[in-house]
Structure 1
Amino acid sequence: MPVPTPPSANAATDPRLLRAFLAVAEELHFTRAAARLYVAQQALSRDIRRLERELGVDLFVRTTRQVALTAHGERLVPYARRVLEAQDALLAAFRRGTGDPGRPLLVDVNSPGLVFGRILEHARELVPECELMARFESGLTGAAAEMLAGRLDASFGRYAGLAPALRGRLAQQPVSYEPMAVILPTDHPLAEHEAVPLDELAGETVYAGAGNPRTPEWTDLAYRLFEGRGIEVAPPAPLAVGAEEFQRIMAKYRNPVLAVVDFPPMPGTVLRPLVDPVPLSPVSLVWPKGLVHPALDALREAAATLATRHGWLRRPTDGWIPAADALVMVSQD
Structure 2
Amino acid sequence: MPAAPTDPRLLRAFLTVAEELHFTRAAARLHVAQQALSRDVRRLERDLGADLFVRTTRQVTLTPDGERLLPHARRVLAAHDDLLAAFGQARPLLVDLNSPGPTTGRRVLHRARELAPGHELMARYESGLTGAATEILAGRLDASFGRYAGLDPTLRAGLDHHPVRYEQMAILLPEAHPLSSRESIALPSLSGETVYAGAGNPRTPEWTALAEDLFSAHSIHLAPPLPLAVGDEEFERIMAKTGHPVLAVQNFPTLPGTVLRPLISPIPLSPLSLVWRKHLSHPALTALRRAATELGETEGWLRRPPGSWIPSADEEAMSGGPTLPLRGPTPR
Q: Specify the alignment match of 2:151 in structure 1.
A: 162
* Residues in 2 aligned to 1:218 and 1:168: alpha-carbon distance in whole angstroms: 19
Give percent identity, aligned residues only: 58
Deviation at 1:228, TM superposition (A): 3.1
For residue 81 of structure 2, the aligned residue among 89, 98, 114 is 98
**Cα deviation per residue 1:141-175 (whole Å; 9 max; x = unaligned)?**
00000001111000000000001111111000100
Q: Specify the alignment match of 1:9 in structure 2.
A: none
Q: Specify the alignment match of 1:314 in structure 2.
A: 303
Which stretches in structure 2 are left out of the alignment for 5+ residues?
Answer: 1-16, 21-57, 323-332
Deviation at 1:90, TM superposition (A): 4.2
Report if the CA contact (8 A) 2:78-2:280 is conserved: no
Equivalent residue runs for 1:40-59 within 5 Å: none
**Cα deviation per residue 1:65-96 (whole Å; 9 max; x = unaligned)?**
xxxxxxxxxxxxxxxxxx79x94674365168
Q: Specify the alignment match of 1:109 in structure 2.
A: 97
Deviation at 1:193, TM superposition (A): 1.1
* Residues in 2 aligned to 1:169 and 1:267: alpha-carbon distance in whole angstroms: 40
* Residues in 1 aligned to 2:111 and 2:143: alpha-carbon distance in whole angstroms: 15
For residue 325 of structure 1, the aligned residue among 311, 314, 320 is 314
* Residues in 2 aligned to 1:325 and 1:240: alpha-carbon distance in whole angstroms: 28
Equivalent residue runs for 1:160-199 within 5 Å: 160-199=149-188
Letter in 1 for 2:239: M
Equivalent residue runs for 1:28-107 within 5 Å: 87=70, 90-91=73-74, 93-94=76-77, 98-99=81-82, 100=85, 101-107=89-95
- Is the alpha carbon distance of 1:97 and 1:216 closer, same or farther for their aligned partners in structure 2, counting shifts above 3 Å? farther
1:140 paired to 2:129: yes
- Is the alpha carbon distance of 1:200 and 1:92 closer, same or farther for their aligned partners in structure 2, counting shifts above 3 Å? farther
**Cα deviation per residue 1:168-187 (whole Å; 9 max; x = unaligned)?**
11000100000001111111
For residue 140 of structure 2, the aligned residue among 139, 142, 151 is 151
Report if the CA contact (8 A) 1:247-1:268 is conserved: no
Q: Specify the alignment match of 1:295 in structure 2.
A: 284
Cα RMSD of the aligned pairs, angstroms, is 2.7
Q: Specify the alignment match of 1:228 in structure 2.
A: 217
**Cα deviation per residue 1:185-241 (whole Å; 9 max; x = unaligned)?**
111111111111001111111111111110000000001011132111111101223
- Is the alpha carbon distance of 1:87 and 1:227 closer, same or farther for their aligned partners in structure 2, counting shifts above 3 Å? farther
* Residues in 1 aligned to 2:304 and 2:218: alpha-carbon distance in whole angstroms: 22
**Cα deviation per residue 1:256-303 (whole Å; 9 max; x = unaligned)?**
111000001221111111000000000000000010110000110000
Deviation at 1:97, TM superposition (A): 6.0
Deviation at 1:115, TM superposition (A): 1.5
Letter in 1 for 2:174: P
Q: Secondary structure at the match of 1:179?
A: strand
Q: Specify the alignment match of 1:25 in structure 2.
A: none
Deviation at 1:244, TM superposition (A): 2.7
Q: Specify the alignment match of 2:245 in structure 1.
A: 256
Identify which range, 189-198 or 246-255, moves more after superposition.
246-255
For residue 233 of structure 2, the aligned residue among 221, 239, 244 is 244
- Is the alpha carbon distance of 1:318 and 1:241 closer, same or farther for their aligned partners in structure 2, counting shifts above 3 Å? same
Report if the CA contact (8 A) 1:92-1:291 is conserved: no
Equivalent residue runs for 1:14-33 within 5 Å: none
Aligned residues: 261
- Is the alpha carbon distance of 1:184 and 1:178 closer, same or farther for their aligned partners in structure 2, counting shifts above 3 Å? same
Letter in 1 for 2:243: R
Q: Secondary structure at the match of 2:81?
A: coil
Deviation at 1:250, TM superposition (A): 2.2
Which stretches in structure 1 are left out of the alignment for 5+ residues?
Answer: 1-13, 18-45, 55-82
Letter in 2 for 1:106: L
Equivalent residue runs for 1:185-224 within 5 Å: 185-224=174-213
TM-score calculated relative to the size of structure 2: 0.73
Deviation at 1:137, TM superposition (A): 2.2
Letter in 1 for 2:74: L
